[in-house]
Amino acid sequence: MKTFYKKFSEKFIEGLLLLSSTITTLTVLLIVVFLFKEGLGVFNQKPVEEGFVIALNKQNPVNKLSSAQLKNIFDQNITNWIEVGGKKDSIILFRMEDITNYYSEEQIGEQYENLPQCISKVVDSLPNIIAFFSTKYLDKNFQGKQLDIDKISFKEFFSGKEWFPTAQPSAQLGVLPLILGTLWVSLGAILLALPLGLAAAIYMSEIANENVRKIMKPLIELLAGIPSVVYGFFGLVIIVPLIQKTFDLPVGETGLAGSIVLGIMALPTIITISEDAMRNTPRAMKEASLALGASKWQTIYKVVVPYSISGITAGAILGIGRAIGETMAVLMVTGNAAVIPHTILEPVRTIPATIAAELGEASNGGLHYKALFALGCILFIITLIINLTVEYISNRKKYNNR
């Protein structure tokens, strides 16, 4: 009977563990599927906000414009139709508020009941007009033609240099500045954190005496529990003014400030995991190395570090993951300028900071909303590539050391 209950309890526990792992795996997969489903939806939409229309006179030979061309027209960087394949004629811009330049308030109506007909007549009377107005004021017998706008393409999305997702009449969804800003800040953080973290881990595991280690270990682990907003506040008050003064910059909110703050935040993770991995190196291996005539530093470099490379890799991955995915601290110290950075001493904007700052203002299911989910997909892919690269390098080192 005891054997039966023992086997039953073991099977029951195995079932619970299987159920738990299955639920966890499915949850992660569903999150990834939802992320990509929402993010890829941005490429099925046009950059013009839903509920608005862009119209031309029927005599205008132009039938299609890109998002960039449309922005340049309304920014008056393009002022003649010949520049976009039309006739040689100056472009007349028309927005809804311009209707009073053509009709009086009495003609429009107190409740704007005649506004659709008025807009239709204006578009019909001006061959070189381009009109932007709400679809609810589109007359049933509209005399103009609605302009065909290209859908957002992968090339335009990833190579675009301007990020203005709420711009009217056409949103500008170029993520290149955000990707480069994320890579600038993350790369700087890892270049700072990895050497310092590895050096600290080696000191604590192989050089420091037990009393020093007992003091340093809890202090370093305590740093991992500090909220990111506190790190951001520290960076804003201390690091930003220091950078501004040291490099004689107009502002101190730069990619370098973000890299330093993120490097400090990643240090506890890298140090703790790497130090634990090094302390697990068998004592017999270290004693054998010393007995063969190797110095203490040679033993650390040739025995301890190669043996604990998997733990060091894990610490590096978690540290890099924290650096790339951090939001609040980066939002506070990098300047949030969505422009392509040429040096690390310029303001930048990262993908996580953009998502955190803008998601609350994006309408559910709208173009801006889906564009932010697309940024989440990019962040996921960047993290995945980094993880796979680190694992590949780690496994290659293990193979070479055999």
- Closest residue by Cα to residue 327 from 253, 192, 227, 197: 227
Token pair recorded at residue 48: 């013009």
Helices vs. strands in the chain: H and E counts, helices first:
17, 8
Average pLDDT over residues 52-58: 91
pLDDT at residue number 401 = 53
Average pLDDT over residues 371-384: 91
Q: How many domains does the chain have?
A: 3
Do both 325 and 383 map to the same domain? yes
Do both 290 and 365 map to the same domain? yes
Give, in degrees to the nearest 5, the angle at Cα 11 between 8 and 17.
140
H or E segment and range at residue 56: strand 52-56
Do both 197 and 333 map to the same domain? yes
Do both 295 and 371 map to the same domain? yes
pLDDT at residue number 355 = 93
Do both 98 and 199 map to the same domain? no
pLDDT at residue number 239 = 95
358 touches 368 (CB < 8 A): yes
Do both 34 and 90 map to the same domain? no
Label residue 336 left, alpha or beta by phi (over 0 means left) and psi (-120 to 50 means alpha): left
* Partners of 335 in beta bridges: 348
What letter would DSSP give residue 188?
H
Domain end among 135, 150, 165: 150
- Closest residue by Cα to residue 112 from 90, 133, 85: 133
Task: Report yes or no on 120 lying in a domain.
Answer: yes
Of the CA atoms within 13 Å of residue 132, those in its CB half-sphere come to: 15
Cα distance between residue 307 and residue 92, in whole Å? 72
pLDDT at residue number 102 = 92
Task: Report yes or no on 32 lying in a domain.
Answer: yes
Backbone angles phi, psi at 92, to 5 degrees: -105, 120
Do both 212 and 352 map to the same domain? yes
Domain end among 115, 150, 185: 150
Q: How confident is the model at residue 350 (pLDDT cuts 50, 70, 90)?
A: very high
- Closest residue by Cα to residue 276 from 206, 333, 225, 343: 206
Q: How confident is the model at residue 26 (pLDDT cuts 50, 70, 90)?
A: very high
Position 37 pLDDT exceeds 90: yes
Do both 108 and 184 map to the same domain? no
Q: DSSP string covering 334-374, please?
A: SB---S--SSTTS-B--HHHHHHHHGGGSPTTSHHHHHHHH
- Coil, helix or strand at residue 146: strand
Cα distance between residue 73 and residue 78, in whole Å? 5
pTM of this prediction exceeds 0.75: yes
Please give the residue range of the domain that contains residue 106: 52-150
Q: How far is CA 235 from the centre of its chain?
A: 20
Task: Report yes or no on 159 lying in a domain.
Answer: no
Token pair recorded at residue 52: 């608005």
Cα distance between residue 402 and residue 399, in whole Å? 5
Label residue 88 left, alpha or beta by phi (over 0 means left) and psi (-120 to 50 means alpha): beta
What CATH number has the domain bearing residue 243? 1.10.3720.10
Handedness of CA 184, 190, 196, 199 (dihedral sign): negative
Task: Report yes or no on 161 lying in a domain.
Answer: no
Do both 11 and 117 map to the same domain? no
Task: Report yes or no on 275 lying in a domain.
Answer: yes
Task: Report yes or no on 163 lying in a domain.
Answer: no
- Closest residue by Cα to residue 58 from 114, 120, 132: 120
67 touches 152 (CB < 8 A): yes
Position 2 pLDDT exceeds 80: no
Do both 137 and 278 map to the same domain? no
* Beta strands 129-134; 92-95: pairing state: parallel
Position 387 pLDDT exceeds 80: no
Task: Report yes or no on 10 lying in a domain.
Answer: yes
84 touches 203 (CB < 8 A): no
H or E segment and range at residue 172: strand 172-173
What CATH number has the domain bearing residue 67? 3.40.190.10
Average pLDDT over residues 130-135: 92
What letter would DSSP give residue 81?
G
42 touches 371 (CB < 8 A): yes
Q: How far is CA 132 from the centre of its chain?
A: 31
Do both 358 and 250 map to the same domain? yes
Domain end among 150, 165, 184: 150
pLDDT at residue number 324 = 80
Do both 200 and 102 map to the same domain? no
Task: Report yes or no on 73 lying in a domain.
Answer: yes
